[in-house]
């Protein structure tokens, strides 16, 4: 309802819009009536209803559990991930172009995280850096790295940034080679890597947006250099 958006204008299909409205009315986690019941209530066949439910499920708003029921869940980035994955497969969206989106998002996240200046959330970034400093194992470094960047997006206090970042990493991390390359790279120059992440955190903690952005840029420059065309999530 907010911002002048209404469900019926988002979906050209009447039935879908009606369903969406119902779904959004009840909070996330709630269970919808059974298909047979809803079909009767809405005056349509179960076939038609299931068609719309499938659509909403594809959008990530619903989750259907066989034998249990259909549940509302918050809009999740999975759908976007699938769409992007298809785009990749269709070789319409290239890997490099997706990567550049990631850079853009991360830079903005750093900027907003510094603006927000939430000490609790930036502490999570610090924790991830600490994990990096406590190990030299490639796998653990990788996990700490993932944790750090997730913490960064959380610290941005921008749900949409987080949403898109999740959707992207879903695609970017699916490629095993990329992940391997990533680990190899990180184990190559651990000290520098730690420094770069520390810089991002410090800039955010110091509530210096411009410096945070530059730190992120440095981080990606480091990722780019030496790897040539092969880019990765980082």
Binding site for its own copies (CB under 8 A): 1-7, 9-11, 20, 24, 28, 47, 50-51, 54-55, 57-61, 74-75, 79-80, 82-98, 100-101, 103-105, 107-108, 112, 158-161, 163-164, 171, 174-178
**Does residue 50 interact with DNA by CB under 7 A?**
yes
Residue list 68-107, contact with DNA (CB under 7 A) = 68-70
Q: Which does 44 bind (CB under 5 to 8 A by kind): DNA, its own copies, none?
A: DNA
Helix, strand or coil, per DSSP, at residue 200? helix
Q: Name the segment binding DNA (CB under 7 A); options: 60-68, 89-97, 129-137, 171-179.
A: 60-68
Phi-psi region of 94 (alpha: psi -120 to 50; beta: other; left: phi over 0): beta
Closest C-alpha to 105, from 164, 148, 170: 164
Q: Which does 58 bind (CB under 5 to 8 A by kind): its own copies, DNA, none?
A: its own copies
Angle at 79 between CA 38 and CA 13, to 5 degrees: 45
The two three-digit tokens of residue 176, written as one number: 């095993």
**Does residue 22 interact with DNA by CB under 7 A?**
no
DSSP symbol at 63: E
Q: Evaluate whether 161 touches 108 at the Cβ level (below 8 Å).
A: yes
Q: Name the segment binding DNA (CB under 7 A); options: 48-56, 110-118, 179-187, 193-201.
A: 48-56
Min. distance of Cβ 224 from its own copies in angstroms? Answer: 13
Q: Which does 32 bind (CB under 5 to 8 A by kind): its own copies, DNA, none?
A: DNA
CA dihedral of 134, 138, 143, 146, whole degrees rounded to 10: 110
Q: Name the segment binding DNA (CB under 7 A); options: 39-47, 77-85, 174-182, 184-192.
A: 39-47
- CA Rg, the chain, in Å? 21
Min. distance of Cβ 91 from its own copies in angstroms? Answer: 6
Q: Which does 222 bind (CB under 5 to 8 A by kind): its own copies, DNA, none?
A: none
Q: Name the segment binding DNA (CB under 7 A); options: 61-69, 95-103, 180-188, 201-209.
A: 61-69
Give residue for tokens 């319409």: 92
Q: Evaluate whether 165 touches 113 at the Cβ level (below 8 Å).
A: no
Closest C-alpha to 191, from 222, 230, 229, 227: 222
**Does residue 45 interact with DNA by CB under 7 A?**
yes
Give residue for tokens 């070789």: 91
Kindly provide the residue ranges of all beta strands, DSSP E only, lying in 139-203, ordered along the sequence.
Answer: none
Residues interacting with DNA, by CB under 7 A?
Answer: 15, 32-37, 44-48, 50-51, 64-70
């Amino acid at each position: 309802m907010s911002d002048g958006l209404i469900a019926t204008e988002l979906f050209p299909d009447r039935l879908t819009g009606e369903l969406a409205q119902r779904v959004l009315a009840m909070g996330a986690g709630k269970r919808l009536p059974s298909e047979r019941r809803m079909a009767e209530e809405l005056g349509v066949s179960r076939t038609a209803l299931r068609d719309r439910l499938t659509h909403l499920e594809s959008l990530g708003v619903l989750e259907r559990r066989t034998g249990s029921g259909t549940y509302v869940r918050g809009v999740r980035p999975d759908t976007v991930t699938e769409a992007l994955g298809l785009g990749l497969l269709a070789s319409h969206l290239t890997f490099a172009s997706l990567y550049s989106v990631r850079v853009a998002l991360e830079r903005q996240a750093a900027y907003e995280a510094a603006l927000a200046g939430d000490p609790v959330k930036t502490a999570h970034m610090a924790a991830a850096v600490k994990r990096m400093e406590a190990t030299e194992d490639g796998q653990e470094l990788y996990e700490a790295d993932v944790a750090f960047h997730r913490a960064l997006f959380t610290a941005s206090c921008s749900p949409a940034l987080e949403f898109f970042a999740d959707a992207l990493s879903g695609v970017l991390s699916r490629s095993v080679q990329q992940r391997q390359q990533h680990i190899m790279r990180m184990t190559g120059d651990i000290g520098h890597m730690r420094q770069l992440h520390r810089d991002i955190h410090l800039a955010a903690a110091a509530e210096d947006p411009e410096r945070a952005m530059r730190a992120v840029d440095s981080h990606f420059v480091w990722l780019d250099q030496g790897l040539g065309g092969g880019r990765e999530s980082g």
